[in-house]
Amino acid sequence: MTLATLAEVLQPALHQGHAVAGLVTLGWEDMRAYVAAAEAEGVPVILQAGPSCRAHTPLPVLGTMFRHLAEGASVPVVAHLDHGYTLEECRIALDCGFTSLMFDGSKLPLDQNIAETAAVAELAHGAGISCEGEIGFVGYAGGEGSAGTDPGEAARFARETGVDAMAVSVGNVHLQTGPGTALDVARIRAIEAVTSVPLVIHGGSGVPDEQRRALAAGSAVCKFNIGTELRMAFGLALRSAVNRDPHRFDRVQILRDVHDPLVAATRRVLRSLGTPSRQ
């Protein structure tokens, strides 16, 4: 069994100069492909259940699926709750076998964000698992704008919450369908200067590959969340599989044809984050 906590995969990444992919899942087909890609590359992987995934599939089912994949995997697999918004939601994920809880209080006033994130961190650490928090708000492409992370607030947040990883807003944006502008490295350096907590980039699909590699190798950024990029790869492969034979209707046959292209796309993402052997 290679089920791991977030801290167990991020601390080696921090010290060895690479990053780990937090891959946003929507169902069995993508999570299975993500683990296959991680095994092919020989790197750990973080399977993430975000709000849209949880709206489609209940947490107890997702926890069982994640743990089943981890038990058969040859690389460490983290079962991660992404963007949990309440302590109770995080508690349910813990009870369902998740090994990492991400509490998102980024829209809350600073004091409230710290207090509620600290409560989730205490819950997680009491059960021997990890907690990720977020300081500064990461916006959405074509939607709500970002509020950049203040380094001083980040230092206080990390110190008072005890989180194992800290998501920051440094020019990254959720749901980008193509490479965006480069991240604000000066802000990242300022945050690094005041805390030793591993940093997380949400909206990693919009970060150019070259900057992913550079930050993974030479900064405290140890986790990139990737969702849109791989959902687009899945959709393209699915459309091709459906259109290949208009008379085929069995979804198992159709989805079987999606697996290999999605594994290949995921392997490209994983390579962009480096491994100790590739530095």
List, in sequence order, every residue forming a beta bridge with 21; answer none if it has no partner. Answer: 224
To the query of whether residue 82 is one of the catalytic residues in this protein, the response is: yes
SS3 (DSSP) at 108: coil
Nearest alpha carbon to residue 139 among 171, 112, 167, 165 = 171
How far, in Å, CA of 258 to CA of 253, rounded?
9
Helices (H) and strands (E) in the chain, counts: 11, 9
How far, in Å, CA of 275 to CA of 45, rounded?
12
30, 82, 104, 150: which one is catalytic?
82
How far, in Å, CA of 220 to CA of 103, rounded?
20
CB neighbours of residue 98 within 10 Å = 29
Query: What residues contact residue 247 under an 8 Å CB cut-off, 6+ apart?
Result: none
Kindly list the catalytic residues: 82
